[in-house]
Amino acid sequence: MVMNKYSLWLLASLVSGSIMTATTAAEIKSIGPKPIISTDITKGTLFVRPNGTGTTCSLALPCDIWNAALKAKAGNVVFLRGGTYNLYKNLRLLNIGTATAPVVYESYPGELAVFDGSQHAKGTNIYIGVSGRFVHVRGIEIRNMPVQGVWVNGVQTIYWTVYLRTIMV
């Protein structure tokens, strides 16, 4: 009988210690925005600006985001110059990268690219779709989308990382 009480006490101590350990681990887990270290500017391969024109997508002649999305391939870093990108149609990021050479969409270092859908009536089906493989979207703000901000679709073979700040007004 003494052995059973001791065993029960030991079991209760172990369980409560496990619960306290789990609680402590959960309490220290970081939530919320994570800091983003900007990609080095020399890694940029395609450059975009809110009112970009043409298809060159260079630093001197930036294109619009839709042309860059069509051109981007594995290993490309698409830098978006700061400013507001009025999304007048869907933006689909269907690119195929690899684990070692993802396709990266990122705000230009020190600037903030903002995708804005406020020119559309609520309920308009305008969205940003990410459904390629190894597509990384980082440091871009999305605001005032009429239905949804970002639509991410995938299966086991599709890998993506999205680091965004979404603001709904």
pTM: 0.73
Q: What is d(CA 77, CA 8) in angstroms, rounded to the nearest whole number?
A: 59
* Residue 126 near residue 115 (C-beta atoms within 8 A): no
- β partners of residue 129: 92, 151
Q: What is d(CA 82, CA 84) in angstroms, rounded to the nearest whole number?
A: 7
Q: Strand 83-86 and strand 77-80: pairing?
A: unpaired
Query: What pLDDT score does 13 carry?
Result: 38
Q: What is d(CA 125, CA 146) in angstroms, rounded to the nearest whole number?
A: 7
C-alpha distances in Å from residue 42, one per residue of 33, 52, 59, 86, 149: 26, 20, 11, 27, 30
Query: What pLDDT score does 17 carry?
Result: 41
- Residue 79, H or E segment: strand 77-80
Query: What pLDDT score does 47 carry?
Result: 98
Neighbour-count burial of 66, counting CB atoms closer than 10 A to its CB (0-12 exposed, 13-18 middle, 19+ buried): middle
Give me the average pLDDT of each 10-residue run along the chain (169 residues).
43 37 46 74 96 93 97 97 94 92 94 92 86 88 84 55 49
Region label for 29, one of left (φ > 0), alpha (ψ between -120 and 50) or beta (otherwise): beta
